[in-house]
Amino acid sequence: MSEPPIIEVRSLTKTYQVGEVAVYALRGVDLDIRKGEFVAIIGASGSGKSTLFHILGGLTPMTTGTVQLNGRDMAGMTNAERTELRKTTVGFVFQKYNLLPTLSAEDNIRIVQYIGGRNTVFDQAFQEILKLLGITDRMKHKPRALSGGQQQRVAIARGLVNSPAILLADEPTGNLDSENSAAVLKLIKDLNRRLGQTILMITHDADAASYADRIVKMRDGRIV
Ligand SMILES: Nc1ncnc2c1ncn2[C@@H]1O[C@H](COP(=O)(O)OP(=O)(O)OP(=O)(O)O)[C@@H](O)[C@H]1O
């Protein structure tokens, strides 16, 4: 029997209430992601990509539907349960890197060790990931001394270092020039291939999406 998907989304909806007005951000999403897959989600602004990302990452509660993430049912989870799931199961990469300016690159990555508390895999994974990302000799630098591409590599290392079941990347190349974008996308693909890392990447860039194994398109809160 084949393994169950690492993410299984069924009839997922999200409605934001803005004053008197209901905004239907997700209108019934079904999606399976298998272990080791690299999936890109594309769609126009407002199609619901970020909302889906935030729900899968445990940052926002869903309105209705079910989401199984690595065998855990996210529907009805409390904030504390979602926080726990986020720390143990998900790695994040954002468009704006979100590195802490006063910490070295190394401490920016290691901070996850203290939050996630999964020290056993940490050091070995740490060295392996730094090597793959080509940033081993950049660890003592503060973010401002690194190029955008290097900062995003540090952010990717931080996202991976606790061996998350899934890496969620939101427009990871949105702040980079085309050369650095291509380099970072190639790295993300390498991580997927070499580490078998499951990756879900949100983008509105068809070029970026073409690095994925599978492209899922959203429109008006649905997958089309
Ligand atoms: N916190 C919020 N409160 C109210 N409405 C929201 C909120 N977040 C998103 N929305 C609305 O939900 C819909 C989907 O937005 P979402 O950000 O998920 O789209 P997106 O595809 O990620 O867009 P973009 O590419 O511009 O980030 C939009 O109509 C948006 O205005």
Pocket test for ligand 1, best of 26, 27, 45 (most atoms within 8 A of CB): 45
Give distance in angstroms: CA of 214 to centre of ligand 1.
23
The reply to whether ligand 1 has any atom less than 6 angstroms from the CB of 49 is yes
% pLDDT > 70, the chain? 96
- At 121 the pLDDT is 53
Higher pLDDT, 117 or 203: 203
The reply to whether ligand 1 has any atom less than 6 angstroms from the CB of 18 is yes
The reply to whether ligand 1 has any atom less than 6 angstroms from the CB of 204 is yes
Which residue CA neighbors atom 13 of ligand 1 most closely? 25
The burial class, CB within 10 Å (0-12 / 13-18 / 19+), for 19 is exposed
Give distance in angstroms: CA of 17 to centre of ligand 1.
12
Give distance in angstroms: CA of 102 to centre of ligand 1.
31
pLDDT at 113 over 90: no
- At 70 the pLDDT is 93
Tokens, residue 7? 């993410």
Task: Note the Cα 166 to chain centre separation in Å.
Answer: 7
Model pTM score: 0.91
Note whether 114 and 100 are within 8 A (CB). Answer: no
- At 116 the pLDDT is 60
DSSP SS3 for 218: strand
| Segment 13-46, tens digit of pLDDT | 999 999 999 999 999 999 999 999 999 999 999 9
Q: What is the mean pLDDT of residues 63-84?
A: 93
The reply to whether ligand 1 has any atom less than 6 angstroms from the CB of 47 is yes
Strands, E, within 74-212: which ranges?
90-93, 166-170, 199-202
| Segment 92-106, tens digit of pLDDT | 999 888 999 999 999
| Segment 134-167, tens digit of pLDDT | 999 999 999 999 999 999 999 999 998 888 999 9
DSSP summary character for residue 144: G
Residue extents of the structural domains in the chain: 37-61+88-223
| Segment 161-177, tens digit of pLDDT | 888 999 999 999 988 89
CATH of domain 37-61+88-223: 3.40.50.300
- At 198 the pLDDT is 96
Give distance in angstroms: CA of 213 to centre of ligand 1.
26
The reply to whether ligand 1 has any atom less than 6 angstroms from the CB of 15 is no
- At 117 the pLDDT is 58
Give distance in angstroms: CA of 167 to centre of ligand 1.
21
Note whether 208 and 49 are within 8 A (CB). Answer: no
- At 127 the pLDDT is 85
The reply to whether ligand 1 has any atom less than 6 angstroms from the CB of 29 is no
Q: How far is CA 160 from CA 8, 26, 46, 47, 84, in A?
A: 21, 28, 28, 28, 17
